Structure 1
Amino acid sequence: MLAGLQNVTFEFGARTIVKNATWHIQPNERIGLIGYNGTGKSTILKLLTGNYTPSAGTVEKGRDTSIGYLHQDLLSFDTDESILQVALGAFERVLKLEKEIEALGKELENTGDEKILEDYSNKLHELETLGGYNIHHKTEEVLQGLGFSNTDLKRPYKEFSGGWRMRVLLAKMILAQPDLLLLDEPTNHLDLPSIEWLEKYLQHYQGAVVIVSHDKYFLNRMVTKIVELYQKELHFYNGNYDYYEKEKALRLEQQQKAYENQQDYIRQSERLIERFRAKATKAAMAQSLIKKLDKLERIEEVRVDRPDLKINFRVDKTPGKVLVELNNISKSFGSNIILENAQAEINRGDKIALIGANGKGKSTLLRIIAGTEPFTGERKWGHNVEGSFYAQHQLEALNLENTIIEEMKECGSQMTELELRNLLGCFLFSGDDADKKIKVLSGGEKARVALAKTIVSKANFLLLDEPTNHLDMHSCELLIDALRKYEGSFILVSHDRYFISKTANKIWEIVDNKIKEFKGGYDEWVAWNEHIAKQRQSEATTFSAKNNPIAPKNEDKASVSPTPTRNQPINKEHKKELQKQQKQFQQVEEALNKNKSLLQQLEEQLADPAIYADKEKFLNLEREYKAAVETNAQLEKKYEEIFSLLLELEEQLKR
């Protein structure tokens, strides 16, 4: 066991967060910690890290267990160091060794002392054992995976916004490779490519991971166990999020049936007691039944903590067929070109998800459509279109002196106060919360008020920028249900793949400064991209076999060389370069296959428990394995680069 809770109760004043909870985290477990907003998920993580002390029970932790904890409070950290230096802080011991080795080297030059030489050699050995020669490469790889460009790496950490800072701290944490990684909403500040990269990285992470997230796709791919904080207790489910949903529904159904059966038994027993207690001959039987009822362990009736409220949009006017036309739209920030002569059209009934990596201009395009961002080109707004734009900057438009309910009343929705309070419940403002002043709310709470205002606006065209960022899963489901029933049209930016898959009927991407449209939902878009990737892989295999110099003897040699089309002469330089790249491709392919065989052999050796008895042998084997993994990554990168170049050259020769 790495860490855990043993009969733990924790209270904030009079409010109990968790009661008599026991949870043991084992090595290499992948756990999703879930629960409604405000139930105390982050509190549980803080108990595990020792930031909070339980009211009763004990928090357990292995003597040598190291814990990494990613949370929003880390953003208070600031420094003038580059983001590369901040992330390299994960290798504290390696950096210290480097300084000690440098100092010993200088001393050795001056004295030639044997004791210093021995110390120098030992530290060099330790540096090698810790993989000290690869830390820069490793750190750069992780930062790039999380969306940073090469030029970003030397920029000061303090220049980056909160979301990008969180990525640096995430990189530092996963590079430190603690035995237990606690991640509180790690995908909140990531774009889709970075989320996909993080998934792949964590799937091979050599340690246990506990994740708090509202991203169902992420949880389904990442975890094999769900721990739910519900009604002040921890409930365990051995499966991913989809399994949890089915299993919980089944458990609640069984609990309800057991409750109803027990209630029937109690009612029958009480009727017998009433009938027999007055009769002297049956008094003993009545007393026996009373004792049985007193000892009976009562089954709780199934209660849902959160009422299943509905969000209903109201649309006043029906717009024309075309809502927005974009013609020859261009937009740039200095040398950074976002759009160049881009065309697009939004029609009535379109429910568009605008997806892609951060920095591609998704939010900029949303602002252009809304008319709040300057650009060159033409934007035509259709007949009877009434738009409502939700984005983070909408928070500034809130009246700080209003209460939440007063702010909602000013929207002109004609909803009653009860209806508005019910709607606010969907956005995590229950009971007296609706009477709080806007000025005392956190950034996340203000964002939820702004989103609620967008919902009641009676608009027939919505523009939504990251609408799920501050919602829990239940509220996301309610919003999904509302958007599916919404009679208007919308375009949204989101990194939540589950949310996109359930709401969008079209996908937009910004590719090569143009707006690329896919007519279909997110799952269809993913399937299409996988199909294209397989097709390219198939073409690569065919290409490789076709151009392999070691061809079967009976193969027609003429088929090896690409044939020019349209009777155009072959460019000799291109052909020469193609042959050169084909030879390199074959060499890299052979090296990759050889390295993969080596990796397999090393993995088999590492799987043998006997290897761990000899520390020196194990360390050497582990070093070999890490070097082979790094070589594999480099070869695969080279393989992809040459393959892309080969396709390009072959295409040029065909022209």
Structure 2
Amino acid sequence: MISINNLTFEIGARALYDEANWHIKPGDKAGLIGANGAGKSTLLKLIVGDYAPTSGSISMAKDLKIGYLNQDLLSYHSEKSILYVAMEAFTRQNELHAEIEVLLKKLETDYSDDILNKLSDKQMEFEALDGYNIEFRANEILAGLGFSQEEQQRPLATFSGGWRMRVMLARILLQAPDILLLDEPTNHLDLPSIKWLENYLQGFEGAIVIVSHDRYFLDRIINKTVESKRGKLTLYAGNYSFYLEEKSLREEIQGNQFKNQQAKIKQEEKLIERFRAKASKAKMVQSRIKALDKMDKISDVDDDNPEVNFSFKFSKPSGRHVVTLENISKSYPNLEILRDTDGLIEKGDKIALIGANGKGKSTLLRIVADADSDYKGTSVKGHNVLQTFFAQHQLEALHLENSILQELQNFAPKHTETELRSILGSFLFTGDDVFKKIKVLSGGEKSRVALAKALTADANFLVLDEPTNHLDMASVNILIQALQQYEGTLIVVSHDRYFLEHVANKIWFIEDKEIKEYPGTYEEYEIWNSKRVQKPVVEKKVVKEEPKKEKKVAPTEDNKRLILKKNKELAQLEQQIALKEADVKELEIQLANEEIYSDATKLQDITRKYNSTKAEYQQLQNDWERIAEEIIELEG
């Protein structure tokens, strides 16, 4: 499918790739991994032709259809609705639709057989390409990515960057390419959308190459892992978890080989040194020197998983109750987020606040952090609570003229330079990088500096909003280790499930405009949540539910009434479908009628009716399927 042969790509004096090789086969679902700066995104740009190799080649079939998602698509601008933008994927169908409209217009004055034949051919091709269903397919993809029917009619330009990226992803998926190249596809998705995308990609029949730092996402999709490191591409025949195990075995073998070779080299060097001065041994010595020079040196194993060697420090512990929320209500114009709800954060809690975008996670986090005062109810901090709040907007608070190291030294003077350098190293600032001015850093680099500052604060309560953004897997591991040994309390919003599973001991989510709590890990919550039956809310307090006590129950009276209503709707739809199907057949008979076929005006009128009626018929079928699925779900 795609063959990368002896690829070399140089940036200045640095070879990002040095005679790298990789053959992507049909059906491959590969995760392209490596540290930040290893060239993963660059490789995708090389494949699509945005960059040219210094040497070597990338070959593929001329008719190979590539779908490429990258962060540059954020700059795409359109005043059209997002539904329209997504439907731009159907290039040929849209061309045919426009051509059919032109031919119908010509028929008003030109009744020639040539026009009629062209119209018939275009309509047949349009139907063969499933043209009448393209809007439904676009609706389906956009809904899966979190867009409501109302939002699908809004112009693309009215959405934020993250939501625009979802539209770009929808358009690429609708193109049904032979291979998908996805550069950080989960960056702008919430958990429900990530899960939807996982299911979609699992059933995708083409090849996939994914650059991602979300190891749960990779594990559920890929069947091969390719590591970009030191200019080479190394293939592992399994998902990310397999890669970790296999790499550990390979490194163990490599480490032993390195030690054995080093021992042999030392022995040879001693022998050479001992007999170097003896003329009678000169030939032997020279022979051994040449053998050492020709020896293929085995590299020592790199430590890709450094351990945390710093610790949090705070001057005094908090009281038992860290934050108490009582009767909290919060609304925006035309949107109610929270209604008369309570919550309690206790000392030692490590809470993951999860859910779909738009449900109020960030709003609740700001209330907890005292960053939002426009709400009803009370939020009270407990005794001796010292808080620090990490959020992306805090990048603006960085002092642009400071170096990275100065920024941390000024903020956390109690820490030694060694400790601060250790923290910065964990977040990809090594060596002389720590002396860079804040003003020359990228947005992602500034985000990492702000997170490093949060970890040096004299705080026994951390409020963290998407702390893993812009971190590679090694840095996420460092953050996990740091938070695991943190003795204070924290609440975090994140879409990285691996991070949440290894950090959180409680889960908060917003449901029915109330704070709900699950007293366990993220993985335990997922198992419980997949099995639970929705019940009417009877209390306004934080709900603590045990998965072991959860039992399947019969439909409630409300559900029974809703099922009855849905069945009536289904029966009405069946009648409408039967009538509409008859209308479609009647119009097809009319289109075949020679009297109508030879009359351009009548043909134009009947053709428009036929196209409209068939689309209505398909929509009724779609509505029937949707309501039938809702009934099945309600019946349990």
TM-score (norm 1): 0.82
SS at match of 2:64: coil
Q: Is the 8 A contact 1:362 1:493 kept in 2?
A: yes
Matches within 5 A, 1:493-504: 493-504=493-504
1:576 deviates by: 11
Q: Residues 17-416 of structure 1: matches in 2 within 5 Å?
A: 17-273=16-272, 286=285, 288-304=287-303, 308-373=307-372, 374-416=374-416
Name the CA shift for 1:447/1:583 in 2 (closer, same or farther; >3 Å): closer
Name the CA shift for 1:415/1:129 in 2 (closer, same or farther; >3 Å): same
The one-letter amino acid paired with 2:201 is L
1:15 is aligned to: 14
In structure 2, the partner of 1:459 is: 459
Distance of 2:365 and 2:561 partners within structure 1: 43
Q: CA deviation at 1:60?
A: 1.3
Return the offset for 1:485: 0.7
Deviates more, 1:8-17 or 1:629-638: 629-638
Query: 1:637 offset after TM fit, Å?
Result: 3.2
Structure 1 residues 507-522: aligned runs within 5 Å: 507-522=507-522
Counterparts in 2 of 1:12 and 1:80: CA distance versus 1, 3 Å: same
CA distance in 1, matches of 2:551, 2:105: 56
What is the deviation of 1:139? 0.5
Q: How much has 1:280 moved relative to structure 2?
A: 7.3
Q: Give yes or no for contact 2:21–2:232 (8 Å, CA) kept in 1.
A: no
Q: Shift of the alpha carbon at 1:512?
A: 0.5
Q: Is contact 2:308–2:482 with CA below 8 Å preserved after alignment? A: no
Is residue 2:632 matched to residue 1:643? yes
Distance verdict in 2 for CA 1:465–1:267, change over 3 Å: same
SS in 1 for 2:377: strand
Could you tell me which residue of structure 2 aligns to residue 598 of structure 1?
none
Q: Is the 8 A contact 2:501 2:522 kept in 1?
A: yes
Would the aligned equivalents of 2:254 and 2:300 in 1 still touch at CA under 8 Å?
yes
User: Following TM superposition, by how much is the alpha carbon of 1:5 offset from its aligned partner in structure 2, in angstroms?
Assistant: 1.5
Counting aligned pairs with the same residue, the percent is: 52
* Deviation sequence 1:242-266 (CA, Å, 0-9, x none): 1111111111110111112222333
Task: Pick closer, same or farther for the CA change 1:98–1:419 going to 2, 3 Å.
Answer: same
User: Aligned-pair distance for 1:271?
Assistant: 4.3
Corresponding residue of 1:621:
none
Gaps of 5+ in 1: 544-561, 565-570, 588-628, 648-655
| 1: CA distance, partners of 2:519 / 2:449 | 32
Count of matched residue positions in the alignment of Structure 1 and Structure 2: 577
Question: CA offsets per residue over residues 143-165 of structure 1, 9 Å max, x none?
Answer: 11101111101111111111001
Distance in 1 separating the partners of 2:235 and 2:620: 40
> CA separation in 2, counterparts of 1:356 and 1:460?
26
Tell me the residue number matched to 2:444: 444
Which residue pairs with 2:592 in the alignment? none
Structure 2 Cα separation of the partners of residues 73 and 277 of structure 1: 62
User: How many Å separate the matches in 2 of 1:171 and 1:51?
Assistant: 22
1:108 shift after superposition = 3.5
Kindly indicate whether the alpha-carbon contact (under 8 Å) linking 1:311 and 1:426 is maintained by their aligned counterparts in 2: no
C-alpha distance 395-271 of structure 1, shift in aligned 2 (>3 A): closer
- The amino acid that maps onto 2:493 is V
- Counterpart in 2 of 1:491? 491
TM-score by length of 2: 0.85
Distance 1:522 1:215 in 2: 15
Q: CA deviation at 1:375?
A: 0.8
- Provide the alpha-carbon RMSD of the alignment: 3.0
Alpha-carbon distance in 2 for matches of 1:102, 1:389 = 57
The residue number in structure 1 matching 2:600 is none
Cα deviation, residue 383, structure 1: 0.2
Give the distance between the partners of 1:266 and 1:580, measured in 2 at CA. Answer: 82
Letter in 2 for 1:641: E
Partner Cα separation in structure 2 for residue 314 and residue 152 of structure 1 = 46
Q: For residues 11 and 169 of structure 2, what CA distance do their matches in structure 1 show? A: 29
User: How many angstroms apart in 2 are the aligned matches of 1:188 and 1:18?
Assistant: 26
User: Structure 2 counterpart of 1:496, which letter?
Assistant: D
Shift of residue 61 of structure 1? Answer: 2.0
Q: Distance in 2 between matches of 1:218 and 1:391?
A: 24
Distance (whole Å) between structure 1 residues aligned to residue 151 and residue 562 of structure 2: 38
Bigger relative contact order, structure 1 or 2, given CA contacts below 8 A and separation 6+? Answer: 2
- Give per-residue Cα distances to partners, 1:403-427, cap 9 Å, x unaligned: 2112111213411223212211111
The 10-residue stretch of structure 1 (116-125 or 284-293) with the greater mean CA deviation from structure 2: 284-293
Q: Matches of 2:102 and 2:309 in 1, distance apart?
A: 68
Q: In 2, Cα distance between the equivalents of 1:645 and 1:417?
A: 60
Unaligned runs of 5+ in 2: 535-546, 575-617
